[in-house]
A and B are shown apart, each in its own frame.
Chain A
Amino acid sequence: MTTIAVAETPLVLSLLRLADTALVHSHRLSEWCGHAPMIEEDLALANFALDLLGQARALYAYAAEVEGAGRTEDDLAYLRDAPQYRNVLMAELPRGDFAFTILRGLFLSAWAHPFWQAATGSTDTQIAAIAAKAEKEAAYHVRHTGEWTIRLGDGTDESRRRMLAALEALWPYTGELFEADAADRAMIAAGVLPDPARIRPAWEATIARVFDEALLPRPADGWMQTGGRSGRHTEHLGHMLAVMQHLQRAYPGCSW
């Protein structure tokens, strides 16, 4: 089985973290295609997935260009194994029910929106260009998942029960969104990527606003899960990649 080893400079690593989070989340959303509770939502989740896939492609293409080893976006997506993936753990958790999917979408897009907004001012022109597009798309994702969170949280007993269960399951994964290690700090110092600590107030404000209307309690910040950004994943990612990468693994180099 071909598996590539990418030379992870701080910039390449940062790009992979962003791209992997977008791709893995996109794949989880795409699993709803044909299964959503109604046709409008089927389309919405598929479009949400498509936006993230487009962002991932742009980020992978740039990561490949920066690495300079002649790789393509496809190589990075299909020829790395779970330990080489750098996405946050929240993105890889199994699809779950609709409440879980919506709340995960809210947590991730409420982070992505201010992140990309700040990244439009990046000293790296390619990142600034990607951010300017991603920011606009993320705004729609926040609106959509925010509105559904309110409907489900302040909905029926059953929808509220499911929302509360999703909240309990997902909250321990929110801490990883705001971590910064040496690579992150190098990128922050160079003005390439925003400081997650400065993204947090906007994220908190969006969550507070939505939770307030959804009648959901903001949990206390207890012990947080971590590791995805360094390649320490849950057992779920390997299974997901087995499906996602199957075609390239079975028929190396095949194309449509």
Chain B
Amino acid sequence: METITQRIEPVTKGADPARLVEAARAAAARVVDPEIPTISIADLGVLRDVRLGADGVVEIDITPTYFGCPAMRLIALEVEAAVERAGCGRPRVNLVLSPAWTTDWITQAGRDALLEAGIAPPPPAASRRALFGEDTPVACPNCGSHDTILISEFGSTACKALRRCQSCGEPFHAFKCL
């Protein structure tokens, strides 16, 4: 079991840069999406890069899922706090737009976490879709049936659509493909 001293032992600026970046990355990676708290920003693909700036300050890049995503500011603040709490000093958190976030960046662990939260993960490796026409079938997170229909293209947040399962009757959120 780790002792309190071990836990709060700061990774100082004098520390090995590789260890500092690793500790900062681990701390940042544990921050969760405030709107879907079962998924970490690392598994969501929002955490893009952790590195050491020329001035010895940890530099972190995050990217928004959607432009208007109201969670980005909170995520940035939480990343800042988590990295500082890990003793890596206050980092610089940059919001990067390019390359544009895609659902293909959600990791397998992230997809499992979404499913666990009752949210159907996006269809894999299909980040581009036709303007019109039918979608790839989405499986119900409750019973696994593919017999599901779209209720609304926009769910409770911009990144989710609302669907209903025709087999078990359960409405559910499906992560939109972007």
Query: Which residues on A are within 8 Å of B, measured CB to CB?
Result: 40-41, 43-44, 46-48, 50-55, 57-58, 113, 125-126, 128-130, 132-134, 136-137, 139-140, 142-144, 146-147, 206, 209
> Do A133 and B162 touch (CB < 8 A)?
no
Interchain CB contact (< 8 A) of B70 among A40, A48, A50, A130:
A50
Does B125 interact with chain A (Cβ within 8 Å)? Answer: no
Q: Which of A53, A126, A132 is B99 in contact with, Cβ under 8 Å?
A: A132
If over half of A's interface residues share one DSSP class (helix, strand or loop), that class is named, otherwise mixed; here it is helix
B67, A48: Cβ atoms closer than 8 Å? no
Q: Please, which residues of chain B bring their CB within 8 A of the CB of A50?
A: 66, 68, 70, 158
* Prevailing SS type, chain B contact patch: loop
A100 to B18, alpha carbons, bound, how many Å? 58
Q: Which residues of A contact B68 (CB under 8 A)?
A: 47, 50-55, 57
Tell me which residues from 38 to 73 in chain B have a Cβ below 8 Å from any Cβ of chain A. Answer: 64, 66-70
Contact of B132 among A46, A128, A146 (CB under 8 A): A146
CA distance A182 to B174 in the complex (A): 45
Provide 16 A-B residue pairs closer than 8 Å at the C-beta atoms, listed in order of the A residue: A43-B156, A44-B153, A50-B66, A50-B68, A50-B70, A54-B66, A58-B97, A113-B131, A125-B98, A129-B100, A132-B100, A133-B66, A139-B129, A140-B154, A140-B176, A209-B132
Number of interface residues of B (CB under 8 A): 25
**Would B66 and A51 count as touching, CB distance under 8 A?**
yes
How far is B152's CA from A143's CA once the two chains are assembled, in angstroms?
11
- Residues B66 and A43 in contact, CB atoms below 8 Å apart: no
Chain A neighbourhood of B151, CB < 8 A = 40
Which chain B residues border A136 with CB–CB below 8 Å? Answer: 100, 178
A137 touches B131 (CB 8 A): no
Complexed CA–CA distance, A52 and B154 (Å) = 14
Also in contact, A206 and B152, with CB within 8 A (given A51-B158, A134-B67, A140-B176): no
Q: Please name 10 further chain A to chain B contacts, defined as beta carbons within 8 Å, in addition to the given A140-B176, A143-B131, sorted by A numbering.
A: A40-B154, A44-B152, A51-B66, A57-B68, A129-B97, A132-B97, A133-B64, A134-B67, A137-B66, A143-B132
| Given A128-B98, A129-B98, A130-B97: A41 and B131 interface contact (C-beta under 8 Å) | no
CA distance A18 to B118 in the complex (A): 38
| Shortest distance from the beta carbon of A126 to any chain B beta carbon, whole Å | 8
Which interface residue of B67, B152, B157, B158 has the most chain A CB atoms within 10 A?
B67
Query: Distance in Å from the Cβ of A54 to the closest Cβ of chain B?
Result: 3
User: Contacts A40-B152, A139-B129 known; A54 to B98 CB distance under 8 Å?
Assistant: no
Partner of B131, one of A52, A130, A132, A139: A139
Given A54-B69, A132-B98, residue A43 in contact with residue B154 (CB < 8 A) = yes
Q: Which residues of the partner chain A approach B152 to less than 8 Å between Cβ atoms?
A: 40-41, 43-44
Contacts of A146 in B (CB 8 A): 131-132
Measured between C-beta atoms, what is the minimum distance from A167 to chain B in Å? 20
Contact with A along B84-122 (1 / 0, CB 8 A): 000000000000011111000000000000000000000
If A132-B100, A136-B178 touch, whether A54 touches B156 (CB-CB below 8 Å) is no
B34 within 8 A of partner (CB): no
